[in-house]
A and B are shown apart, each in its own frame.
Chain A
Amino acid sequence: MEPWRKAPAVFVANLLPPAAWLGVFFVLPLSLLWLYSFGDKVGITGIDINWTLANYARAADPLYLGILIKSVWIAGAATLTCLMIGLPVALAISFAPRHVQPWLLLLIILPFWTNLLIRTYALIAVLRTNGHVNYVLEWLWSAGDGLLNLIGLGGYQILGTGFTPWSLLYNDAAVVTGLVYVHLPFMVLPLYAALYRLDRSLIEASLDLGAGHLRTFFYVIAPLVLPGIASGVIITFIPALGAYLTPDLLGGTDSQMIANVIERQFKAANDWPFGSALSFLLMYITFFGLAVRSLLAGRRGGGVSA
């Protein structure tokens, strides 16, 4: 790398356009939002920036605090589920033959390139009351019922009098499912990267010294891919926490997350200062998570980071 003074014209010509664009269409809007978060609503559209902290204080209101806690809980549940699925998936991929690995990874990533909205919609079509899952369940029910009739137990109505479709949508479980569906690649990729770089002979050494696969996993594999696990957890949790579309489309009235509250402040409730404060709270949580991640990645310990 050379110091910029060696070719100042080239440096400035390449610096100005991107920096200006980023300044005007990103830093400026965010700064405006930041200012708004210290303001009071005046009339319908006016905002008086008087450096009040009331908007941030209002986030501690039990109603909003409850939503914040619920958001953390839902994002956490989704992250944990992703980890529980992602770890065996990443393990299976990283030990597959070299020429198969890119294809398996591609299969995991490809849905990510499909529009988020469409994926969520696809999930709705599958999970709704008269969707495919319930259709299969109903078929299973009638098959089971028929079987019971056949063996002469039909009169006891063990399976109930009729099939009631399961409510798979518009609740917290649906939001968690949707978040897992959307964020699984975020978890698998860093885990795979960490496992891929793990020296195979370390696993063999552990087996050679008498440890079984389970103990090898907990004593050798897990500690060494811990930075990868931490990285995966953080980069899954952050977007899950700020998710807007998934809780909006899959959640019920009581499974709204922070992003939905922010949206309501900017649209229906028309309380921009409060919405701005909530946005910045969400961003601070994000930055905190990223700081933890880079701290973990920078730490010594011979681990395999992602």
Chain B
Amino acid sequence: MRFPGTPIGPLDYHRRLPLRLILISSLIFLYLPILTLVAFSFNDSRRNIVWHGFTLKYYQKAFADSELMLAFGNSLSIALFSTLISTVLGTMAGYLLWRFRFGGKTALEGTLAMPIVIPEICMGVAMMAFVARIGWPQDLPWPLNLSAITAAHIAFCFPFAAIVIRARMESFNRQLAEAARDLGATEFQTFRDVVAPHMKPGIVAGALLGFTLSLDDFVITFFTSGPNSITFPVKIYSMVRFSVTPEVNAASTILIILTVALTAIALRIQRRYPIAGV
């Protein structure tokens, strides 16, 4: 333990000036653009460079923009569906890998890790080719028009959930399950009463992770979405390509606040269960 006011010890690297300067400038580099973006979404000027006063008019504009709101709704729906399914699939996969020994396990683990490690562009174009090849219907009614994107999102979200849940299960004492069986519990009762309560924080963390990943994804969605299934990031992308405007700042800020809020919830849960994975 080190305390301010005491002389700098030989191993107090964090208190040496050059290191401190690099750390602080890195944090400025990371945060200044985002904070500027948020701040200027409230700026009462189109020029977007000098502060003219506080306004919420760009938020009003953003909320009045039906295309933007439709995209927002699409994003939330996709995130919700893919979180639901990927949490179930992730729990199954995580539990399976934690509990069983079987032939081809390494292959399954490798395949499961693939959506996480391969470049997004590859998965995006593969999904695009797949949708085109099997002739996935394009003009289905809502929410079925989002099904292709949702399927792709689940494919890359549930491996994350599986990893988090498996990491959580590492801290589970297998003898607890054996004790439950010894006391007469069935397979299902053991899972429900002993395994699941331990797994819970992992499941919640995996679900929140999946929601954020789905909400944030641009590249894979960009290649899978059709004209009827624009998501929020894809919509912002088309706005960004056009120009830097306070409306884009406002729309971006909404998404930032949403993800920061989700992360905060995830962290609170993590703190309540300090050994939950991630």
Contacts and interface: CB of A to CB of B under 8 A. Distances in A.
Direct contact between the two chains A and B in their complex (CB within 8 A): yes
Contacts of B255: 115, 118
Greatest chain B CB density within 10 A among A1, A128, A130 is at A1
Contacts, number: 249
Contact of A88 (B22, B33, B215): B22
Interface of A: 1-4, 7, 10-11, 13-15, 17-19, 21-22, 25-30, 32-33, 36, 45, 85, 88-89, 91-93, 95-98, 104, 106-108, 110-111, 113-126, 128, 130-132, 135, 181, 184, 200, 203-204, 207, 213, 238-239, 241-242, 244-245, 249, 259, 262-263, 266, 272, 275-276, 279-280, 282-283, 286, 290
A184 B187 contact: no
A135 B49 contact: yes
A4 B122 CA distance: 34
A286 B12 CA distance: 38
Band of interface residues on B: 35 or more
A40 B108 CA distance: 32
B130 A123 contact: no
A3 B26 contact: no
Contacts of B92: 13-15, 17-18
A262 B125 contact: yes
A115 B216 contact: yes
B219 A276 contact: no
B121 A282 contact: yes
A23 B250 CA distance: 40
Given A30-B126, A114-B256, 12 more contacts: A1-B101, A2-B101, A21-B158, A88-B18, A91-B14, A95-B12, A118-B252, A121-B252, A122-B33, A125-B48, A181-B33, A249-B240
A4 B100 contact: yes
Contacts of B2: 97
21 contacts: A1-B100, A14-B95, A18-B90, A18-B92, A21-B155, A36-B129, A85-B22, A92-B22, A92-B23, A95-B14, A106-B267, A113-B216, A115-B252, A118-B37, A120-B240, A122-B36, A126-B32, A242-B122, A263-B121, A276-B129, A282-B119
A242 B121 CA distance: 7
B231 to A, nearest CB: 11
B70 interface: no
B236 A14 contact: no
A276 B30 contact: no
Where chain B touches its partner, the secondary structure class is helix
B119 A29 contact: no
Interface in B248-262: 248-249, 252, 255-256, 259-260
Contact of B89 (A21, A98, A280): A21
Contact of B128 (A25, A135, A266): A266
A121 B218 CA distance: 13
Contacts of B121: 242, 244, 259, 262-263, 279, 282
Given A122-B34, A184-B26, A245-B218, A283 B99 contact: no
Interface string B230-269: 0001001100110010001100100110011001000100
Contacts of B212: 113
